[in-house]
Structures are given as C-alpha cells and as structure tokens.
Amino acid sequence: MKPFKAMILAAGLATRLRPLTHSRPKVLIPVQNRPLLYWLVEFLYSAGAKEVIVNGYHLSDKLVDSVKKGAFPIPVHVRVEEVLLGTGGGIRNVADFWDEHPFVVVNGDILTSIDLKEVWLKHKNSGAMATLVLKDEPRFNRVEVDENGRILSFTGGPGKHLAFTGIQVLNPEILAAIPTHVPMSIIDCYLQLISESKKVMAHIVKNQYWRELGSLEGYLQVHQELFNLAKTPLQGLQTSKNPIVHESARLGCQGRLEGMVCIGQECELDTDVVIEESVIWDQVRVGTGCTIRNSIVGDGVVVTESLAGVAIGTEGRVELNPGRE
C-alpha cells in the first residue's frame, strides 16, 4: 500500500472531560503520562501514515506549542479553526493538505490498535467514497449496515446496529460534497452521499483493541484496565502492575501507592500521602496525610483534603459515576 496522509480531529470543546480540559485540549490529556496525541500519531505512523494534520480550536495555543516541541516519527501540523467547523467542516478546511490518494481521519479521543492497513486496503479495493470502521459497542451502537456492508443510517432504532469507532478512510472526491468554511458534521455528508446511492461502506472489526476516552469515567477506566491486562494492546503502553511515576515527581516519606497509579511531571507529595487507583496530572501538590482514591487530579491542583471518586481541576470538581461513560 502507498503511504497515506492522515488527520486527527481535535477541535472540540471536550465538555465531558471538564473540569480537566480547562487546562489542556482533549487530544493532550495524558495516557500513562504521555499526551494522547503522541499515541495517535504513532498508531497512524505504524499503519503507514507519512504526514499528519491536527485541527485545533479549544486551547489551540497549547496544542500548537506541544506539536512544536514534540518528537514525532513523521511531520505533524496544526490547523487552527477560527470558528468550530465540525467534523466535516474540519476535514474540508484542510483540503490543501490532501493529495490524490485515499486519506485517513481519526477522532482525537480514542486509543486503539485496530489494523488500519487492512482498512485502507479494503477501502482502496471497494470503490467506496468512504469506509468507516465499526464494532459492536452497545453504549454507542447506532449505525445500520446491510448484508453487503453498505451503511444505511446513523440513527439507531430496532434491529442490529454497530458503533462508529471514529476511524474512517475517505477518497479526496468527498471534499466536493462538503461546503467551504461552513460548520458541518461528516455524518451529514455521509447521509447525503447515501441518499445519492454513493457507496459508504463499513469495515467491521472484532477482538481488536479500541477505547474511547471522551468521558471522565472512560478515561479513568482505561488506565485501570491497562494496569490489569496481561499483554499490552499497543506498543509502549505499560501493563505491568507497577505505579507509573514521572522522574521529576517528588514523593514524601511514609506514603503509599496502591493499585493503578499514574503521577505526572513535577508533582509533590508530602508525608503520609496515599494514592490509590488514581491518575495525577502535572504540577499537582498533595498535602500531608491526604488520601486520593479512584480520582483524577488535573494540572496544577493543590490538594489539601482527602478525595474519593472525583475529577478535580483548578476550576472545580465533578463526582465520578462508575456506571456512566
């Protein structure tokens, strides 16, 4: 297969991850102390991507700065949107980036090891305008597919439906169906193509790793799941049952780290601190005797009391509900 270009959709407001995303855009949330963006670029690179573009809007200055400082295996560019253009409008807004070959677009809030090479080749040979990767994920099952693999609708309802993973391969001709500088969902574009009897195809995967990190509960659950896996689903992700502590973090004496624990850069934990089943972002200060359990602590938070089952940032906190994702 030919090397392809790819896009990471990352311009959204990430409201489901607030208050954590008051300090960084969703695509920069840390997964085992490494921004999600880095995992996504390596996923695309390993599948054959030669160049990646990321769209930005919310806290776009931080995204631009991170990309400038990043060490990526392929060129990575940022296109900042002056107004939110939606998934379709965002793809159209980088029309000058694409070449004549099929290209890949992925959502900026997923972690996956799906065989993207197989998807690209199937798309190339199908004659479809677009190929969407689907899987059975009951929380998100909305896409109806016929017996030939053609997508019929995205509205759910009775019968068998599947979930759109946010991974798609598109022909450059599709850009003509998206208006310039107009907010639009790529799903609306697909519905228009379907109404015109154009081929919008499904590539259905089973038993391939895919997780959505767009909610507070889902984000914490992914970390806990990785900690307990026997084998890593993605090269570089740690699955051994050991805490992940950045080398710049300072841990006070007589403290304990229990179960899944990730502690970020320049954190300071005073004496007698207990961290259990929690993710601590960067530059967090935890006072003497505090216990943090089943929680996410965002950048720059100063913890002066014990926490349990919360996501806390410098601009507020949210109670976590293990049953909600």
Lowest mean per-residue pLDDT among 15-24, 232-241, 301-310? 232-241
Segment 123-155, tens digit of pLDDT: 999 989 999 999 999 888 999 999 899 999 998
Q: What is the mean pLDDT of the segment spanning 293-307?
A: 97
- Whether 113 has a pLDDT exceeding 70, the answer reads yes
Q: Give yes or no for residue 205 having a pLDDT over 60.
A: yes
pLDDT at 322: 66
Q: Which long-range contacts (CB under 8 A, 24 or more apart) does 76-80 make?
A: 76/41, 76/51, 76/52, 77/51, 77/52, 77/53, 78/53, 78/54, 79/53, 79/54, 79/55, 80/55, 80/56
Most confident listed range (226-230, 254-258, 304-308): 304-308
Model confidence at 115: pLDDT above 90: yes
- The rounded distance, in Å, linking the Cα atoms of 262 and 271 is 18
* pLDDT (average), residues 187-209: 94
CA distance 227 to 237: 10
CA–CA distance, 172 with 183 (Å, rounded to integer): 19
State the fold for domain 4-212: Spore Coat Polysaccharide Biosynthesis Protein SpsA; Chain A (3.90.550)
Residue 72: partners with Cβ closer than 8 Å, 6 or more residues away: 38, 41, 45, 52
> Looking at the predicted structure, is the pLDDT value of residue 262 above 70?
yes
Quote the pLDDT of residue 79.
Answer: 97
Select from 30, 29, 32, 28 the least CA-distant residue to 238. Answer: 32
- C-alpha distance from residue 301 to each of 149, 267, 308, 318 (Å): 48, 10, 15, 14
Q: What is the pLDDT of residue 324?
A: 58
Instruction: Give the domain ranges of the chain.
Output: 4-212, 235-319
Mean pLDDT of the chain: 93
Pair 38, 72: CB distance under 8 Å: yes
Letter string b/e over residues 244-281, b meaning 16 or more CB atoms within 10 A of that residue's CB: bbeeebebeeebebeebbbbbeebbbbeebbbbbbbbb
Question: For residue 323, what pLDDT is reported?
Answer: 59
> In terms of C-beta density within 10 A (0-12 exposed, 13-18 middle, 19 or more buried), how is residue 90 classed?
buried
Q: What does the alpha-carbon distance between residue 176 and residue 189 come to, in Å, rounded to a whole number?
A: 10
Report pLDDT digits (tens) over 272-285. 999 999 999 999 99
Least confident of 64-78, 234-248, 281-295: 234-248
Q: What is the pLDDT of residue 257?
A: 96
User: Over 60: is that where the pLDDT of 316 sits?
Assistant: yes
| Distance between CA atoms of residues 204 and 187, nearest Å | 18
Strands 285-286, 302-303: pairing is: parallel
* Whole-angstrom distance, CA of residue 302 vs CA of residue 317: 13
Superfamily of domain 235-319: Hexapeptide repeat proteins (2.160.10.10)
pLDDT at 325 over 70: no
The pTM of this model reads 0.93
At residue 34, φ and ψ (nearest 5 deg) are -130, 130
pLDDT at 14: 85
Mean pLDDT for 87-112 is 96
